[in-house]
Chains A and B, each alone.
Chain A
């Protein structure tokens, strides 16, 4: 299983923890139940609860934050509402918040604002004041955020964006706020009522906070929520009041529902490539600003999953793979400043894959639990990109070690970046990268690896099987079995073909090399230990005319030098250099026979290896 990397906290609104107050329990006859319209009364709390009003505190708040107060009232009225905001970390609740609900519901369509007076024991900012929160579906919520208050009574006006939408409203008033600088305080609210104010400007509603917005590059299946729904009204003082409002007050429209549809909640669904413009209206007035969307169509991506890793789990520290248990990674996208990268977690043939899009660079962090890769030899990842990978395009992998102090900075951090270029980098196919840690030359410590950074010029990268690995000195898997037609092969050493009869795999040429053969998963493999040089005497002179390549599979973790020679009588010999060590397991090479000129290819009778270390060899053969 992969790590659950994104802990999404969905803010699902407040939950009531308790119902504290309930007033006005009137006996009702059946005739009342038959009514289909709601009372149109505007009063909420003047000197006391209106008969249909009930209070419920929000979950996690101090449930005793609210009480009716006779001492501090507006304009010498009898009672006010008093709210005691708790200190931070108060055991009884960390904030004050709750809902005043009508048990019957109200028809508020004849009003245009909720108004009340407010003062506090000290200057403070009330986080949220509003109406429409009914602890249920919260259909028509209007919220004034960040209202400053002081020790003087002031009137607060919260406009109704469209009164025709609040004909059966239960949420008459709600509030939520926390302490100021960690300390609680008290505020009072009085004369809470819905009013029809002629002194307000004409409400104007916006989307996206009042700015046009363009979203490009979205894909079929993406959902985009139209945010920044606000209603702005000029208060009697000529100052604008801006409140956040629910989508229910809006009617959204799209210029092309076949490309991007939009529902009543303002959620845009991308259906096809093309462009569409999302508009809205509130109370039959068009909203001035719009959301423009350009869809690129279906998402690109691999159709087949990445090659399943075959390394022994004991030799792997995996960050992201279905093949291994994974260590904790704090995030696969730190969203550092200036990073444009988005990421998502997708499945390809049931295999979990990280998708990066708009990649310029992306930070990946595992600082909580850093990785000790001192015993590891290499870093593996599989990448797939639909983008152009011809030169000078590249993909870069940066590893950062926090050093002995195990924290960022402190002067002991080490890092190194490796750049992957074509032809290694390929488009539209999985590229398995095995990056020897020895090539990360600047990464001189790796006991506290904490960051991984991808960057480069390809904006779309799919990533899988990210892990550090330790090379086994003995190959864990046999060399790949060759598939050349037997008719076109002259084999020296292979289980797949009939080998040249009479070949001496260990002629006595005075060498120090120890020659053995060992089966790997049943596949016989030739092993040179302590190589200085080693010959092979073919059972007969071979005429290689008509063949093109010397093929061989070799494996060595510790060799730093390795050459292979062909020899014809004379002797005439010529070598070809083999790349060691073999960081990716078995290396399969096909060396053109022309490389070995001036060796007489009509009559090759010996093969020789020179170099050092322990070498595993298999499938030594000449082929077409």
Chain B
């Protein structure tokens, strides 16, 4: 099946987007600007449209779960306990997946949430990886759509590599972050770029978050707007993005990236996912 990349008939601005470092703010005018992007034709290789009855878990042939608190809050001092209870992860019966973070005492933690992954089920090298997501908000809320190298069990992080397609801090819901982590550029030293709305915010509606990943490049998109290209030349360490990666979706609460939630952080917070689709380039 061919998916025509209908957003390719645009002109200009790629260079500017790729040069800017730090926070890259687009004004309303710039959003109207037109990008010229390379023509790519995509073939769907894997997807989940999250059809199904409300209250059900998503398709177990596509997704598995991280449960519990991991090691040191999944390496980030995160505050949630991940479960696969319907109150934390379920289909909503309207074609969406809902991951819900709650303030509740559970197994010694003050919050619960869910983290889904395709590890051991699906992984792919190169291609377009996209999800249409309505993100949660609030201080200390950390939604993410991301990938890890499928060899993580034998090649520990960060050597296995990490591609973060969407990360947001709930206290700054107008900013989206796209990053890679690898050897020499992980954690706080990751290669990252932010895409911000000047008079808007991401959690008010669905947005399409994507990367297009090929040999020697990863392009980051929000709503098909290219805001970052990362190439081996941008990195201070080894380029480890030439092996299959698997998908992860979660809401973390607290942790090194986002900071603590406050008493005023509204709960529950839900990340609604319309679909996840993976393509390979023809």
Contacts and interface: CB of A to CB of B under 8 A. Distances in A.
Contacts of A197: 199
Nearest to B264: A239
B170 interface: yes
B170 A238 contact: yes
Contacts of B201: 198-201, 234, 236
A240 B264 CA distance: 7
B178 interface: no
Interface string B140-155: 0100000000000000
A149 B197 CA distance: 28
A594 B139 CA distance: 90
A199 B199 contact: yes
A202 interface: yes
Q: Is the interface of A mostly helix, strand, loop or mixed?
A: loop
A75 interface: no
A198 B200 contact: yes
Given A198-B197, A198-B199, A199-B199, A239 B204 contact: no
A348 B42 CA distance: 84
A237 interface: yes
B212 interface: no
Contacts of A198: 197-201
Which of under 10, 10 to 19, 20 to 34, or 35 or more describes the interface residues of A? Answer: 10 to 19
Given A238-B170, A239-B265, A240-B266, A199 B137 contact: no
Given A234-B203, A238-B171, A201 B197 contact: no
A200 B137 CA distance: 11
Which of under 10, 10 to 19, 20 to 34, or 35 or more describes the interface residues of B? Answer: 20 to 34
Contact of B265 (A201, A236, A238): A238
Contacts, number: 48
A239 B266 CA distance: 7
Contact of A238 (B137, B198, B199, B200): B137
B229 interface: no
Contacts of A240: 264, 266
B88 interface: no
B268 to A, nearest CB: 12
B262 interface: yes
Contact of A237 (B139, B197, B199): B139
Nearest to B170: A238
Contacts of A237: 139, 171
A421 B200 CA distance: 71
Interface string A220-243: 000000000000001011111000
B118 interface: no
A238 B139 contact: yes
A239 B174 contact: no
B91 to A, nearest CB: 20
A420 to B, nearest CB: 51
A272 B198 CA distance: 55
B58 interface: no
A236 B203 CA distance: 11
A240 B136 CA distance: 13
Contacts of A199: 174, 197, 199-201
A202 B137 contact: no
Contacts of B141: 238
A413 B70 CA distance: 64
B138 interface: yes
Contacts of B250: none
Contacts of B264: 239-240
Nearest to A201: B204
A150 to B, nearest CB: 16
A201 B139 CA distance: 14
Contacts of B172: 238
A201 B203 contact: yes
A234 B134 CA distance: 15
Contacts of A201: 137, 173, 201, 203-204
Interface string B190-201: 000000011111
A238 B138 contact: yes
Interface centre among A197, A239, A240 (most CB of B within 10 A): A239
A239 B138 contact: yes
A279 B173 CA distance: 31
A183 B170 CA distance: 38
Interface in A254-294: none
Given A198-B201, A239-B265, 15 more contacts: A197-B199, A199-B174, A199-B201, A200-B201, A201-B137, A201-B201, A202-B204, A236-B201, A238-B137, A238-B172, A238-B266, A239-B139, A239-B262, A239-B264, A239-B266
20 contacts: A197-B199, A198-B197, A198-B198, A199-B199, A199-B200, A199-B201, A201-B201, A234-B137, A236-B201, A237-B139, A237-B171, A238-B139, A238-B141, A238-B171, A238-B266, A239-B139, A239-B264, A239-B265, A239-B266, A240-B266
Interface of B: 137-139, 141, 170-174, 197-201, 203-204, 262, 264-266
